[in-house]
Amino acid sequence: MKKIIIGLTICLSILSWKSVHAQGINFEKLTMNDALNKAGIPGDEKLILIDCFTSWCIPCAEMEATEFPKKIAGDYFNPKFVSVRFDMEKGEGKEIAKKYNVTAYPTFLLLNFQGQEINRVVGKASAEEFVNKVKAALDPKNSIPGLKAAYEEKKSMRTGFPYALALYQASKDPSPVLEELFDHSQDFERFSKEYLELAFGISKFGSPFFRKIMLEKSNIDAYWGTEVTNRIIFDKIRKDMYQIASETGAKYNIFYTPKEVEEVAYTIALLKLPQDKPESHMGRIALYVVNKDLDGLIAYYKRNIALIPNTDVFKGILDGILMRQAAKANETQKTAIREYFSGVAKTYEKEFKYYQGMAERMQKPVGK
């Protein structure tokens, strides 16, 4: 009897899980051509939702697991859309990424049944937020042509920033709009956090627009505080420098000359970020890598990275960069790299012995 009850409980749990997920967005396993054909059935035309994801995109996975299955999402999308998902780095997804210029993840393309892009939504959102964003994106006045018309009719931050953001999300260059806004807006507008994050995010380090913004850094600091401003600037370059240091920049279309990396490293140094934070060293590490100075890189690790606590996750990322360089090292350099990692291991050994001793003392009877 007990086994029967347990079996029924499991069956009910599975049925309940399926019921919940059946309420969400019905993503169909279709090719792009099949999706277009299904959306274009005469008398039953629908729009197409394409979830553009990658295997390494955590927000993509989170939305798939927690937001897409919700009833509010299914109620809105299933009657109106043919919904499909493609990994942008595999199979047909590569062609879709190239055709629609998808470079940020997650991106959700909204197409008509002829495959023409109406608009797109970029970034993670709750199910309710996602539905609202899609509704707004389908409003003609929120399309890129609609936003452009509103901006040209009356140029201001109120009309210009949404237009620039839409251009950016569609992988188009918003820098002319952002620079025009920077030149003609009031300080409280052009020094707003959302404006600065986008402006720094799209401007190349050392470009005329980047330098124009940096000339106002003291004023920006007065609005947000030096620490916040420095974080905005550093976040703009952190990923690029990691790709350069990992020598994977070409895969993500990230290219810097050694001179440009030197300027980045110099600027980061002027920000005076806390040296006990591993990420603050990324510019210097990228500079050693791009200059192919492995001896300098090893010396830098021994002098600076070895002092960073091993408990910091980013420390492991930096150690991985050095480990990849070992494949190019000569015997003397390999010995030096082994010495570095041996020193790290000794630190772990000391920590292990310390905590092991604490645990053993807890096991002893009180008073002995």
Query: What CA–CA distance (Å, rounded) separates 103 from 172?
Result: 10
The CA distance from 112 to 109, in Å, is 10
Q: How many CA atoms lie within 13 A of 16 on its CB side?
A: 6
Which of 138, 24, 134, 19 shows the shortest CA–CA distance to 73?
24
In angstroms, the first-to-last Cα distance of the chain is 52
Inter-CA distances, 284 with 63, 168, 308, 362, Å: 36, 29, 15, 44
* CA atoms of 223 and 356, how far apart (whole Å): 49
| Helix ranges (DSSP H) in the chain | 2-22, 32-39, 58-62, 71-80, 91-100, 127-138, 144-153, 157-169, 175-184, 187-190, 193-202, 208-214, 217-224, 226-246, 258-270, 282-290, 294-303, 313-325, 331-363
Q: CA dist 181 to 20, 167, 190, 215, Å?
A: 47, 14, 7, 16
Cα 163 from Cα 169, distance rounded (Å): 10
DSSP code for 104: S
| Residues assigned a catalytic role | 57, 60
- Reading the block at residue 161, the tokens are 């920033």
Rg (CA), the chain: 26
Which amino acid is it at 180?
E
Q: Are 143 and 149 in contact (CB under 8 A)?
A: no
Residue with the two structure tokens 């490293």 = 265
The string of DSSP codes covering 302-318 is HHTGGGS-TT-HHHHHH
Annotate 42-97 with DSSP letters as a single string.
TTS--EEEEEEE-TT-HHHHHIIIIITTSHHHHHHHHHHEEEEEEETTSHHHHHHH
